[in-house]
Amino acid sequence: MYVILAGMMYTPFLSRRDAWVLVNEDSGLIEDVGQGPCPVEGVPVIDAGDAILCPGFIDIHVHAGGGADPLSEALKGGDVAEALLKMGKYEATSGVTSFLPTTGALPDEVHLRLLGAIHDLVKRSPLSETRQRGALILGVNLEGPFISRKRKGAQPEEFIQPPRLEKARRLLEAYPGVARIMTVAPELEGAIPVIEYLVSNGIVACLGHSDASYREAVVGIEAGISHVAHVFSGMRGFHHRDPGALGAVLLDDRVTCELIMDNVHVSPEAAKILIRLKGADKICLITDAIAAAGLPDGYYELYGRQVKVESGRATLPDGTLAGSTLTLAEAVKNMVNLVEVPVSEALRMATYNPARVVGISDRKGSIRRGMDADLTLLDEDFSVRATVVGGRVVYRKEGKVG
C-alpha cells in the first residue's frame, strides 16, 4: 500500500483540493479516495505537492511514438512485440496508461502479424510483466483496410480493399478478442454486413476515411456505427445542400467522435462547434501519433513511406497530413487554453470517454474505490509529472515526485 497526495484531483467528474488516493500495488487497484488529511498511517507517501491528479490517459487511436513503430516493424518482418513494448514505455512518458495500437490499410499478412503480436501481449503476458514497462495495450484499433480511396488521407491506396464479410471474419477470428475498434466507410458496397458483424461480436464499428453522403452515413449508423475516427479529417465535410457524413455524425447522439486537437488537423473554432453540437461526453481526444511523436523535426516513416516533420507538423511529400506528433497531455492543454473548455471536461475526453467507448469504464477512466490504479500526475501547465499503471509508478519526471 502507498498514498498519493495531490493539490488537486479530478475524478474526472468531481474536483477535490488536497486529495489523496490509497493504492494497493499488489492488486493494482485503488483502495480508497479522500480529501484532507489521509487517515491511513504507516504506509509510504508520494507527496506530489501542487500537482493535478487525474485518471490515466487512454489513447484509442495511436500508430506509433518515441521512435517505436510497430507498423514499420510488421511491414519489414521485424520484432513487432519489442516495438509495441517500446511504444508502451513512450506512451507512459506522456501520461498514457493504456492504449490501442492502430493499424491502417495494410497487406493481410502484415495485419495478421500485428494482430498476432498484440494478441500475445494482451492475452498471454502476465500483467505484472507488461505494466512494469509502460502503458498497457488494450487490444487493437483497425483503421482499415475497408476505407474510401477518395478519402484515404496518408494511407497507401494499393492496400485499400472493398468491404467483404468473409475477409473481415478471417482477419478478426484469427485472434479473437483482440480487435476493439474497426473503421469502415459505410458507403462502400458490402460495408453494411461488415458493420453488423462487428457490432454482433462486440467490436466498435467506426466511420472513417469515408466519402459517405448524409443518407449513406445514416444507413451506416442505423446498422451499428457508433464512433467516428478523427472527426473532420478524412471524411466528406458539411455543405448546406449536402450535410455529408459530418452532418450525420454531428446530429446523431448515438455517435462518439475522436478529435485530434493539435491545432493542425482541427482549428479551435471547429472544436468549439463540435462541443456545442455533441457535448463533452461524446468526444474522445486522440493523438493519431506516428513514430516522430516525442522526437525532433526530421524525416520518419509511416506505412513504409517517408514523412517530413517540420514544426511538429507531419506530411507526405505531396503535403498530405500524415498523422501527428501530438501527446494527449498536449491535447488536454489545447482544449483548455485554445478551446476554452473546463479542465474537468478536457480530462474526461482523455480518460473516461475513451474507456466507455471500448467498454472498460467499469475498470478504467475514473478515480474511485475498486478501479484500476491507472493514474496521471500533471503540473499546472499540463506537462506530465508521473504516470502510474496498475499501481506501479512507470514514469516520473526527474526531481518532481518523491
As annotated, the active-site residues are 288
Residues 344 and 25: their CA atoms lie apart, in Å, by: 26
Residues 40 and 38: their CA atoms lie apart, in Å, by: 6
Residues 104 and 114: their CA atoms lie apart, in Å, by: 11
C-alpha cell at 254: 448515438
- Which three-class secondary structure state does DSSP give residue 100? strand
Residues 6 or more apart in contact with residue 81 via CB below 8 angstroms? 117, 120, 121
Between the CA of residue 306 and those of 107, 291, 294, 315, what are the distances in Å? 18, 11, 18, 9
Q: Cα dihedral angle (78, 156, 264, 255), rounded to 10 degrees?
A: -100
Give 220: exposed, middle or buried? Use CB within 10 Å, 0-12, 13-18, 19+: buried
Beta carbons within 10 angstroms of residue 209's beta carbon: 28
Residues 6 or more apart in contact with residue 161 via CB below 8 angstroms? 105, 145, 146, 167
Residues 197 and 304: their CA atoms lie apart, in Å, by: 30
- Which three-class secondary structure state does DSSP give residue 84? helix
Contact 288, 313 (CB under 8 A): no
Residues 1 and 391: their CA atoms lie apart, in Å, by: 9
